[in-house]
A = this chain, B = another copy of it.
Amino acid sequence: MKTSIHGLHKVFESRIRLGIMSALMVNQKLDFNEFKHLLELTDGNLASHLTALEKHRFIQVKKQFVGKKPNTSYSATDLGRQKFTQHLNTLEALIKKVSQK
């Protein structure tokens, strides 16, 4: 039984990045506070993982004013959606193999 882990993407290994990408797969865009609430995370933790995902162009950042207040929102890029879907499919295959025993 060959266990293929090579479809898993290193950048998505962290639980927090799994959470961020999962949330962005079912939400068009989210801002920082929405992420913090959804994933129950601290500022520092969340910020560093958002930066890493942006560096890989898996998410994109949009800065705008909402009324007089600055607002930063994040959305998944097509590349991010495609790579994360592949990651999830590989995880799903791994889980199926394990639960077949």
**B-contacting residues of A (Cβ < 8 Å)?**
1-3, 5-6, 8, 10, 13-16, 18-19, 22-23, 25-27, 38-40, 88, 91-92, 94-95, 97-101
Q: Is the CB–CB distance between B101 and A26 below 8 Å?
A: yes
Tell me which residues across on chain B come within 8 A of A38, comparing CB atoms: 1-3
- Oligomer: number of copies: 2
Task: With CB as the reference atom, state the residue of chain B lying closest to A41.
Answer: B5
Contact of A98 among B5, B6, B10, B88 (CB under 8 A): B88
Task: With CB as the reference atom, state the residue of chain B lying closest to A24.
Answer: B98
Q: Is the CB–CB distance between A3 and B39 below 8 Å?
A: yes
Q: Is the CB–CB distance between A97 and B22 below 8 Å?
A: yes
A13-B14, A14-B13 as given contacts; A5 in contact with B39, CB under 8 Å: yes
